[in-house]
Structure formats: C-alpha cells, structure tokens
Amino acid sequence: MSAEDLGIIGSALFYGYAFGKLTNGFLADHANIKRFFAAGVLMSALINLMMGRTELLWVWIVLWGSNGWFQGYGAPTGAVVLSQWFSNRERGKMYGIWSTGHAIGEGLTFVLSGALVSFFGWQAGFWGPGLICIFAALGIYLLMQDRPQSMGLPPVADWKNDHADEKKEIKTWDAQRSILKRPSVWILGLSSAMMYVTRYAINSWGILYLQEAKGYTLIEAGSILGVNTLAGLIGCVAYGYISDKFFRAKRPPVTLIFGVLEIAALFIIFFAEPGQPVLLTSAFILYGFMLSGLLAALGGLFAIDISPKNAAGAAMGFIGVFSYLAAGTQDQISGYLIEQGTTIVDGVRHYDFSQAILFWIGGSILSLILASTLWRVKVLE
C-alpha cells in the first residue's frame, strides 16, 4: 500500500472514532453499562481479527473506520461510570487515574504490537490485540456493574452527601438535549479541539521536527518524545488530585496553571537554541505532564462536571466529536503549511516548520483563552 492509502485508512479510524464517540455517548446514558461496554470491545476485537485477510483498499477503509466507531464505546461509557459511581469532589482524582489508560495503551502498543510483528509478521499486529480484547470484553462483562440504583443502592450524591447546586432531576433524553443548548459545552468542545491540534501535531510531526530543526537522529528524537508517555501518566493523576484536593473540584484554576506551563514548554521546545538536549528533554517532560492534565479536563472531566449526570455519556461524546475532527484535519493543515517553505537542495528535501509552529502554539493559546471564559460555570449534580 502507498503512503496515501495508509493515510486514508488512518483517517477513517479518526473520523469513525469521532462520530462513534458522539453517537455512542448518547446511547451510553440509556444502556446497561457493562453490556454496552463489553459489546463495543468485543466488536473491535473481532474487526481486528478480520484485518489482513484481503488486499482491497475499500474493505480496509470500512473495517478500520468501523473499528474506530466501536472503540468510541469506551470513553462515553467510562464517563457514565465515573458520573454514577463517584461524587463531585472525588471524581477528578478517579478521572485522572482512568485517563492514564490512554498512555498505558499507547505504551503497550509500541512494545507488544512491535514484538508481535517482529516475530510473527504484520498480521499479528492486528490479531494479537484482537485476541487480548476478547478476554478483556469477557472481563468487563464479569467484573463491571451497571449504575448503583440497579443494585438497590442510593445515588452516589446521596451516599456521599455531596450535592451540587442543582438537584432538579430531568429525564435522560431531556438532559441530553439540554447539553446542546449550553454555550459552555460548545465552548469547551472548541477548547478541547484546539488542544487536540497541538497534541496530534506533536505526535505526528514531532520526530521529523527534531531531526530537521534540531539535528537529532531518529533514535534520539524518538527517545526525547518517549518521555511524554511517563510524564503524561503522572500529569493525568496530578490534575485530578490537585483540582479535587486543593480547589474543591473547581477545574478552571488548575486548567489555567496547566495551560500557561504547557505553552511555556512549547516555546522552549520550538525556540530554544539547538544543542541543548537536557533543556529540550525537560521541556518535553513539562509539556507531556501539563498536556495530559489538560486533555483529561478539557476532553471530558469538565464536561461531566457541568452537564446533568444522566447525560454524562452524551457530554463526553459531544466533546469528543470536536476533538477528533480537529485531530483528523490537523495533519492536512500542518502538511500544507510545512510544504509552503520546503526546499530541495542537491536532491535533499529540507522542511520549513516556521508557519506550522505558529499554528500549533496558536492552538494551545486559543484553547486556554476559550477555557478561561468558563471560570464561573457551575457544577451540576
């Protein structure tokens, strides 16, 4: 397959995930959580097992887009579980722990899938995770529970005596529709989208940038970017703990702190003089730490806070469609901007990142400005 073919297949996953997160978010609020989540993981596993059995491009696109849609069961389901089983003042810490799954999964992908492909061929990169996720789906079905009320337990807000400002309960469909009428949720979606521009810009172009602009080898560039995984694990948990412990579950003050430091790290990464590996690595650690905290907040936690709890899945899905549409279009815009200043000298292509860097940093700055307008938005029960 050509690079263009692979790009089309990869974007199908992004777009499938974006709309899967939206539609499944609305469905998750009504579904039995453990059955719904287990079904999504099982279908994703089965699609993985089907990959590699044909050379038809359109089949790959359909399968990989469908895989993204079924993977879109995960985040909204997690949002519903967090909103139903944890009260307002403990949800940030638990959301932070839950969010580490992204970094853990990414790390396992690099190690496990890489090893499977090396020893058993490229098809094993699909089949191995597919088999693992069949067992994961079984584990979810056996160990997970639906809402507390389904087990004869009281709502968590009653149990913890942790009621928010609004106690009026509305029907689930009405609660979901109310999300679309909240300007704060739309602003949060745009803020998350801008942050995802920066996130996937670094993920997609970071290694090439470090090679071209900073003069590092491929191995050195990969190693520097690799620190983001560990820093991100800590950052997710730290954001939730800090906002719960020191700010009484108020997210905007912590978002402001994390956002300013994340932007500062980007300025060091892009504008510090080459030949300072310790400074650059430290900046990437700071960036990974702060970015993961911001992604946890803007990508779901704050949306759960400011939406009715019986519409947590819909809120998560609504934010997700903003985030992943932005992720899907970022590569195209960045590629165009980089190509504008690219030159070829003696047959060697030299990339110009100057315009793209402004686009990437601008995404983070605009994200922080949008998030700051939500300072006085109230948490709902």
Query: Are the CB atoms for 126 and 45 separated by under 8 Å?
Result: no
Q: What is the pLDDT of residues 16-63, one digit of tens each?
A: 988 888 888 888 888 898 999 999 999 999 999 998 787 788 999 999
Cβ atoms < 10 Å from Cβ of 149: 11
On average, the pLDDT of the chain sits at 86
- For residue 162, is it within any domain? no
How far, CA to CA in Å, does 167 sit from each of 5, 19, 259, 308, 332?
A: 52, 31, 32, 10, 45
- For residue 161, is it within any domain? no
- For residue 152, is it within any domain? no
Place of tokens 């990959």: 51
Q: What is the pLDDT of residues 176-227, one digit of tens each?
A: 888 888 899 999 999 999 999 999 888 878 888 998 888 888 778 877 887 8
Give me the pLDDT at residue 166, please.
47
Higher pLDDT, 287 or 216: 287
Phi, psi angles (nearest 5°) of residue 249: 70, 15
How far, CA to CA in Å, does 345 sit from each of 216, 322, 350?
A: 20, 40, 7
Confidence of residue 380 (pLDDT cuts 50, 70, 90): low
Could you tell me which of 100, 108, 98 has the C-alpha nearest to residue 132? 108
- For residue 109, is it within any domain? yes
Instruction: Specify the CATH number for the domain of residue 125.
Output: 1.20.1250.20
Q: What is the pLDDT of residues 266-283, one digit of tens each?
A: 999 999 988 888 999 999
Tally of domains within the chain: 1
- For residue 153, is it within any domain? no
pLDDT for residue 167 is more than 60: no
- For residue 352, is it within any domain? yes
Percent of the chain, pLDDT > 70?
95
Give the structural domain span for 213.
Answer: 3-146+169-372
- For residue 156, is it within any domain? no
- For residue 199, is it within any domain? yes
Give me the pLDDT at residue 282, please.
94
**Full-model pTM:** 0.76
